[in-house]
Amino acid sequence: MEPFKPLDAVAAPLGVPNIDTDQIIPARFLWRKRGDGWGHLLFHDLRVDDGGTPRAEFILNRQEFRDARIVVADRNFGCGSSREHAVWALYDHGIRAVIAPSFGDIFFNNSLQNGLLPVVLPASIVGAFITALVQAPGTRIKIDLEAQCVTGPDGVLHAFEIDPFRKQCLLEGADELAFTLGLDEQIDAFEKAYERKVSWL
Amino acid sequence: MAEPATLFDKIWSSHAVQVRADGATLLHIDRHLVHDGSSNAFRTLKSRQLPVRRPDRTFATPDHYVSTLGRGLAAINEPSRRGMVEDLEAHARSAGVTLFGLNDRRQGIVHVVGPEQGLSQPGMVIVCGDSHTATHGAVGALAFGVGASEVAHVLATQTLWQHKPKNMRVTVDGTLAPGVHAKDVILAIIAKISAAGGTGHVIEYAGSTIRDLSMEGRLTVCNMSIEAGARAGMVAPDDTTYQYLHGRPYAPKGADWDKALAGWRLLLTDPEARFDREAHLDAAEIEPMVTWGTSPEAAAPITGAVPDPAAAPDAASRDAMKRALDYMGLAPGEPLSQIAVNRVFIGSCTNSRIEDLRAAAKVAGGRQAVVPTMVVPGSGLVKAQAEAEGLDAIFKRAGFEWREPGCSMCVGMNGDLVAPGDRCASTSNRNFVGRQGKGARTHLVSPVMAVAAAVTGRLSDVRQLLTRS
């Protein structure tokens, strides 16, 4: 996983609630491998028409949002299927952070595992961001993970919460698995004690 | 005295290996279920040269990519799909993981197989790389879906770091009217609390209606917890649970059963335990439900009409509703019972168990499908049971297709797709844009409502068929 660096980037507004992972990456592509590259498949059926021609009106196809590295979305972004491919598609497209009032729980965890920062801000603030980004396409947003703050389209700073361990992992590009493998003894001890109680497993 | 605790609290604390300074808990995993979409995680282990830590706690079955037209690998005539099943079988074999493969009668949808085999038991923590893992919570377990990185983490360590979700209780009291089933209950719950109503929470379903549900019905309810945004859903174990589990292949036997049962009986939520959120529904008010939009929260009684975006509370909701109606090809005010469908799907981890098929067959008997209708049992054993009871013959006489088990048209990854623009009454769990195929329009319904749609060619109130039969 790549370390998360401070972002100062164009933000694309997706002001629709409940954007599910089926829309982010349709199921028919999921047989592909992680290393195959997923960016061109992001929002596939929204981005291109049946003939494979990009839909000019889709937000990420518009000239002002071609270089977007931040998505600002409505509530419950990434709900539905647990497919981590949704995160891979966003990440490979160049998106490094999604700001929303709430996320699907599994998507939220998957994001953190891949260097994509999910930022939860109050619905009123996210709504104001979306309005501003729609009115002035191409406006930039800054995200400083170290300082845990977002500089909105109007230049106002907003603090956000993130758990310290996840934050450290993102900043270092470290992954959780390596950390847990270091706890082998504790896991062994737990399993022994547990299996004495639950002997039929 | 210990703090009053919920069923969820009790399972959580009994599986805590360690608590990190930031509050995250390293949870021990009792059962890890893997399927033919889990290959990326196995590849992660290979690339890091890590073994599967507990192959004895890991169980595999292919479901998403399998053909429903025939068994065996050869029946999967598309190489990328066949490769997914081959990969799973190869990974399972090399890791020593128990595999219910394509030629094994126990193969099926992972969330049907787990409870059916007695792998899912009260008090367990169960994970799977699939969001519908919440299904297994019906036996009184904490079961939740995870992504590929977390699947790899569990394969390598048999543990998972999680921040503890909050407690939510949804209580449903009263008696369900004839024609109203578990699927209607969960759709009514989601319509009430919204698709994000359970986000960050684990839901315990309680109340007399839930207690009166069979295990199959509870599995249906818990299955769609994720559609309410909840991490997991669960039902406290009781005699219904114990009777269901007793004698199943992986359930404890003899003295172990007695020991297990004594522990399970202590799992109930303490009367003084507090929930962070509560919701209540009256069973008498629940009617057969259908969805009209592109989120499971867009559900309404069949007696209702397509809602008007003009009545939405704010601009964002209005816009979302307009988009949904545009995609669905529906007009505000249209009676739901006049919506014509092109096809019907009965199956998926929500509604493919024997009780679902029995209920469907009861309505299908003596009637004829007027649109293409397929029935896909949840496992080889469900299929065999249904055939032993003659349900397949009833379906075939009604003109329904009787298929081999798999996820099938719920997600279409095996090629069982709804054609663009077609409208499908489906017993599955998601009516998302493109879920059943590009441009496909999905109306979520119960198995008996699916049959009602199949024999009338439109979404229709199954209660009218019940009174005539």
pLDDT band at B469 (very low <50, low <70, confident <90, very high): very low
Q: Among residues A14, A20, A99, which one has the least CA distance to residue A58? A: A14
Cβ A200–B146 below 8 Å, yes or no?
Answer: no
Residue of B32, B294, B432, B442 for testing the chain A interface, max A β-carbons within 10 Å: B432
Question: For position B249, what pLDDT does the model report?
Answer: 98
DSSP per position, B424-460: EEESSS---TTTTSTT-EEEE--HHHHHHHHHHSB--
Mapped onto helix, strand or coil, the DSSP state of residue B396 is: helix
CB contact, 8 Å: B438 with chain A? yes
CB contact, 8 Å: B465 with chain A? no
For the residues B387-411, what does the mean pLDDT come to? 98
Minimal Cα–Cα distance from A88 to chain B, Å?
Answer: 11
pLDDT band at B314 (very low <50, low <70, confident <90, very high): confident
Cα B276 from chain centre: 25
Give the separation between CA B348 and CA B353, rounded to whole angstroms.
9
Please report the residues numbered 86 through 145 in chain A whose beta carbons come closer than 8 angstroms to any beta carbon of chain B: 87, 102-107, 109-110, 113-114, 127
For the residues B317-338, what does the mean pLDDT come to? 96
Cβ B432–A20 below 8 Å, yes or no?
Answer: yes
Please report the residues numbered 37 through 56 in chain B whose beta carbons come closer than 8 angstroms to any beta carbon of chain A: 37, 39-40, 43, 48, 50
Question: For position B134, what pLDDT does the model report?
Answer: 98
Give B316's DSSP letter: H
Q: Are strands B299-301 and B16-19 parallel, antiparallel or unpaired?
A: unpaired
Question: For position B315, what pLDDT does the model report?
Answer: 86
Per the listing, tokens 């996320």 go with A103
Question: Is the torsion defined by CA of B106, B111, B114, B115 positive or negative?
Answer: negative
Q: Among residues B195, B204, B191, B76, which one has the least CA distance to residue B142? A: B204
Consecutive H or E run containing B128: strand B125-128
| E strand map for B181-314 | 201-206, 232-234, 277-282, 289-291, 299-301
Minimal Cα–Cα distance from A104 to chain B, Å?
Answer: 6
Give the model confidence (pLDDT) of B281-308 as tens digits.
999 999 999 999 999 999 999 999 999 9
Q: With beta carbons under 8 A apart, name residues in chain B contacting A22.
A: 430, 432-435
Residues near A57 by beta carbon (within 8 Å), at least 6 away in sequence: none
Please report the residues numbered 23 through 82 in chain A whose beta carbons come closer than 8 angstroms to any beta carbon of chain B: 23, 26-28, 30-34, 45, 50, 74-76, 79-82
Percent of chain A beyond pLDDT 90?
Answer: 97
Q: With beta carbons under 8 A apart, name residues in chain A contacting B257.
A: 200
CB contact, 8 Å: A163 with chain B? yes
φ and ψ of B4, to 5 deg: -60, 135
Closest residue in chain B to residue A131, using alpha carbons only? B316
Question: For position B317, what pLDDT does the model report?
Answer: 87
For the residues A173-195, what does the mean pLDDT come to? 96
Query: Does residue A145 contact residue A111 with C-beta atoms inside 8 Å?
Result: no
Residues near A30 by beta carbon (within 8 Å), at least 6 away in sequence: A83, A85, B37, B413
Q: With beta carbons under 8 A apart, name residues in chain A contacting B131.
A: 80-82, 106
Question: What burial class does residue A160 get, using C-beta atoms within 10 Å of its C-beta: 0-12 exposed, 13-18 middle, 19+ buried?
Answer: middle
Residues near B289 by beta carbon (within 8 Å), at least 6 away in sequence: B183, B184, B187, B188, B191, B299, B300, B301, B302, B444, B445, B446, B449
Cβ A183–B158 below 8 Å, yes or no?
Answer: no
For the residues B399-428, what does the mean pLDDT come to? 98
| Among the partner residues A76, A176, A186, nearest to B229 by beta-carbon distance | A76
pLDDT band at B1 (very low <50, low <70, confident <90, very high): low
Minimal Cα–Cα distance from B388 to chain A, Å?
Answer: 32
Cβ B37–A127 below 8 Å, yes or no?
Answer: no
Residue of B411, B428, B444 for testing the chain A interface, max A β-carbons within 10 Å: B411
Q: Rounded mean pLDDT of chain B?
A: 97
Mapped onto helix, strand or coil, the DSSP state of residue B90 is: helix
Six-digit token pair at A110?
A: 């998957």
C-alpha pair distances (Å), B84 with each of B46, B64, B81, B207, B385: 16, 9, 5, 42, 28
Give the model confidence (pLDDT) of A61-110 as tens digits.
999 999 999 999 999 999 999 999 999 999 999 999 999 999 999 999 99
Give the model confidence (pLDDT) of B365-374 as tens digits.
999 999 999 9
For the residues B239-262, what does the mean pLDDT come to? 98
| Among the partner residues A23, A164, A177, nearest to B434 by beta-carbon distance | A23
Minimal Cα–Cα distance from B406 to chain A, Å?
Answer: 15
For the residues A174-188, what does the mean pLDDT come to? 95
Q: Are strands B373-375 and A117-120 parallel, antiparallel or unpaired?
A: unpaired
C-alpha pair distances (Å), B376 with each of B64, B364, B392: 13, 15, 10
C-alpha pair distances (Å), B280 with each of B185, B233, B236, B285: 12, 15, 17, 12
Minimal Cα–Cα distance from A13 to chain B, Å?
Answer: 13
Question: What burial class does residue B239 get, using C-beta atoms within 10 Å of its C-beta: 0-12 exposed, 13-18 middle, 19+ buried?
Answer: exposed
Question: For position B246, what pLDDT does the model report?
Answer: 98
Six-digit token pair at B428?
A: 């599955």
Number of A/B CB contacts below 8 angstroms equals 181
| Among the partner residues B81, B159, B320, nearest to A17 by beta-carbon distance | B320
Closest residue in chain A to residue B257, using alpha carbons only? A200
Mapped onto helix, strand or coil, the DSSP state of residue A16 is: coil
Query: Does residue B154 contact residue B146 with C-beta atoms inside 8 Å?
Result: yes
Question: For position B468, what pLDDT does the model report?
Answer: 53
For the residues B395-422, what does the mean pLDDT come to? 98
Give the model confidence (pLDDT) of B207-245 as tens digits.
999 999 999 999 999 999 999 999 999 999 999 999 999
| Among the partner residues B83, B146, B195, nearest to A106 by beta-carbon distance | B146
pLDDT higher than threshold 80 for residue B467 = no
DSSP per position, A88-145: HHHHHHT--EEEES-B-HHHHHHHHTTTPEEEE--HHHHHHHHHHHHHSTT-EEEEET
For the residues B6-29, what does the mean pLDDT come to? 96
DSSP per position, A164-186: HHHHHHHHHT--HHHHHHTTHHH
